[in-house]
Structure 1
Amino acid sequence: MNVLRRIQLRRFSKEVQQPIQAQLDESFNPVQFSDPGQLARYLKKKILAHAPGRFVVIEKPYGISCVGQLQENGGVFGNSVRDERKAEKWAGTIKARKEEDIGVTISDSLKVLRKLLREPQLSFCTGLKRYLSGAIVLPCNEKDANILKDCIRRMSADVEPPYMYNALAITVGRPEKTSGILTGFSTFRNVGKHKEYIFEERKVSKRAKMGKFAVEGHMSYRVLETKNDVSLIDFSVNKFARHLPRLMLTQMSSPILGDTIYWRRLANVDGSPELISAGNRGHQIWVPPILSEKIGIPSRSLLTSLPIYCHVYNTVFEDVGGHEAHGLVAAARPPAHFIKMLDTLDLLTAYKKFKNQSEKPVEDPAMPAARTSGDALF
């Protein structure tokens, strides 16, 4: 090991408890915001499409929450879990997050954004999880807000592709099959002395589904490339509720790179990765040997030092009315830190090939394009 490398490792060991900004090179870090006005001005520069009086499509940065907290009565779509169960058995498990942990949210920025875009009724309807980047659609009036909600309800209930959300993920390992469809459900269950989200690859019972004890989901996927025990996966899902895509990819022994919770379920058994049950403790977590060298971070720190590398490159709304013949496709390119990681892990060529193929004209006019570019189709 050369002198410079030893100095770098010593310096890193002193900084390991500091925030991610001090641990990683700037190009690996998601963008940060200090106040709603700053975020609003950033979002204005990232307008992907604007149909005045109807919709605004913006690029949601990674690490930014849309609303920040569990909403009263479940927010826009109602509770995804049974209230009595949560009140009686989950008391203290799901806690309100501290304001400093939430940071600035999309909802916080709306007041300023309304003025900047001259859309006085601009509102939040539905977005993407904090750990995702991608395009989100903001309605400019109550009628279109209800149209979006109805569309999402229909598409999230679909049991066959094409699904609403199309995404890319960098994963540790790879699925056994190159492509396929996975169906199952997620539920919050006791594992030892605590609770975790669990995925079961089978049909959910009617009682569990109607009682909101479980959320069923469907995923289609294909592996675009695997190098150095790390993969780039293109997947489509009908919903992100209850950690479903994260659990599904983990179920296939390919947890998302940077996903601290579920990466831990991939154990190092005699030098090979092996999926273990939720709740297990004391095992050595599988980290591809070359990953630490490629990224430049000691293996013991990788689990807590990386953002989650998952990007929704487009969201399809099949029918929003008006003149949009094929609905609305809101698309956004991956953020800089995602592209940089692809380059670092030798997966950038695979992404460019996928992007070029995705943006070719669609032969069937009835099907929306699998757009990945930074715009939206109206």
Structure 2
Amino acid sequence: MNVLKRIQLRRFSNEKLQSVQPQLDESFLPMNFSDPNQLARYLKKKVLAHAPGRFVVIEKPYGISCVGQLQENGGVFGNSVRDERKTEKWAGTIKARTEEQIGVTISDSLKFLRKLLREPQLSFCTGLKRYLSGAIVMPCNEKDANILKDCIRRMSADVEPPFMYNALAITVGRPEKTSGTITGFSTFRNVGKHKEYIFEERKVTKRAKSGKYAVEGHMSYRVLDTKNNISLIDLSINKFARHLPRLMLSHMSAPILGDTIYWRRLANVDGVPELISAGNKGHQIYIPPILSKKIGVPSRALLTSLPMYFHVYNTVFEDVGGYEAHGLVAAAKPPRHFIKMLDTLDLLLAYQKFKNQSEKPVEDPSMPVAKTSGDVIF
């Protein structure tokens, strides 16, 4: 068969598939970036605050990695996982994925951003996971980079709310309680013939913690609204290491919409969502019927076609030196595709109510300001 014939058949096959299976509307999907220069120009337009010579606060898009690969000796904060095999290979940076899988990253765009923002020492310090959107703070000198690192180390160790990261998640199902605090640890454990991250709601042992077999975390949450077994949850957490918030939410029978790993742990039992143990297979995954109806895509396709609807609306740095009044609060509005999903699932009103309440003046000036509007306070 010649090349032209194969192309024609492939085109016919794709067109036939598209005519049978409706495609996900682009408004439900995040933006894509083809090269570092394009990303840098976009980020320049999304600068939320700029203290010349000290910090630049930018809006990180969903699906964009800050670094995109494992760093030598764990990067900024060292290894969080005990793994001798990785340690042996660390003669330099380990690339966990191919460049095609990683895509363009914030780090890739740094050389362009430095010129666009006239900050020759602009650097990446720490940011947000690929599956998160929100504001990140980039230092413009080594001293402020170390200040940010020290602040994050202190705040990530907090065991009582309020915590450093405040986020919104659209979830499948809802926790049993409307609000509360959950404490526990995540670890990588054998489940059948493979390993998965699991969460245990109990205090981690000193041996597991010091040996880096487990990462302990704390999260407070409240359900803002639930419609058709889909919820909007406001949560505050002290760290994102080892999939902690994703595991915590799925542990409470409320996995994040679009989380292809942990959504699968919610089984459909006679039309009711029921949490199952990690590693179980052969069950029917619970997919709220309203999703397919509202979005216009077959239920099964939704498991792999949706982004993760998880947005950090503000990050609080308690003390960055020179801005002690409220510290530094880096805030960003949810992205377009997040708002679109809220509107589609009849949860937009709950978000607007939450946003209005969050932006009311704080009576106690000693309390951090909870911002969602995209403002950044120094």
User: Does 2:241 align with 1:238?
Assistant: no
Instruction: Say if 1:12 and 1:23, in contact at 8 Å, map to a contact too.
Output: no
Aligned alpha-carbon RMSD (Å): 1.9
Shift of 1:23: 2.9
Q: Do the aligned partners of residues 16 and 50 (structure 1) sit closer, same or farther apart at CA in structure 2, a change above 3 Å counting? A: farther
Partner Cα distance (2:335, 2:173) in 1: 22
Residue 322 of structure 2 aligns to a residue whose secondary structure is coil
User: Does 2:184 align with 1:184?
Assistant: yes
Amino acid at match of 1:372: T
Q: Do the aligned partners of residues 70 and 204 (structure 1) sit closer, same or farther apart at CA in structure 2, a change above 3 Å counting? A: same
Aligned residues: 361
Shift of 1:25: 1.2
Shift of 1:15: 3.9
Shift of 1:269: 1.1
Shift of 1:27: 1.1
Amino acid at match of 2:128: L
Alignment of 1:1-378 (within 5 A): 14-15=17-18, 23-84=23-84, 96-378=96-378
Instruction: Say if 2:70 and 2:95, in contact at 8 Å, map to a contact too.
Output: no
Instruction: Say if 1:16 and 1:301, in contact at 8 Å, map to a contact too.
Output: no
Shift of 1:295: 1.4
Q: Do the aligned partners of residues 236 and 16 (structure 1) sit closer, same or farther apart at CA in structure 2, a change above 3 Å counting? A: farther
Shift of 1:85: 6.9
Residue 33 of structure 2 aligns to a residue whose secondary structure is coil
Instruction: Say if 2:67 and 2:107, in contact at 8 Å, map to a contact too.
Output: yes
Q: Structure 2: where are the runs of 5+ without partners? A: 1-12, 89-93
Partner Cα distance (2:325, 2:140) in 1: 20
Partner Cα distance (2:24, 2:362) in 1: 40
Shift of 1:83: 3.4
Tell which deviates more after alignment, 267-276 or 60-69. Answer: 267-276
Partner Cα distance (1:173, 1:39) in 2: 35
Residue 323 of structure 1 aligns to a residue whose secondary structure is coil
User: Per-residue displacement from partner, 1:61-92 (whole Å, max 9, x unpaired)?
Assistant: 0000000011110001000012327669xxxx
Q: Do the aligned partners of residues 205 and 34 (structure 1) sit closer, same or farther apart at CA in structure 2, a change above 3 Å counting? A: same
Amino acid at match of 1:49: A
Residue 217 of structure 1 aligns to a residue whose secondary structure is strand
TM-score (norm 2): 0.92
Instruction: Say if 1:174 and 1:231, in contact at 8 Å, map to a contact too.
Output: yes
Moved over 2 A (4+): 10-13, 15-18, 83-88
Residue 261 of structure 2 aligns to a residue whose secondary structure is helix
Amino acid at match of 1:293: K
Partner Cα distance (1:356, 1:247) in 2: 29
Instruction: Say if 2:73 and 2:87, in contact at 8 Å, map to a contact too.
Output: no
Partner Cα distance (2:140, 2:178) in 1: 41
Shift of 1:326: 1.4
Shift of 1:323: 3.4
Residue 134 of structure 2 aligns to a residue whose secondary structure is strand
Percentage identity across aligned positions? 86
Shift of 1:368: 1.1
Instruction: Say if 2:69 and 2:95, in contact at 8 Å, map to a contact too.
Output: no
Partner Cα distance (2:163, 2:308) in 1: 22
Q: Do the aligned partners of residues 51 and 249 (structure 1) sit closer, same or farther apart at CA in structure 2, a change above 3 Å counting? A: same
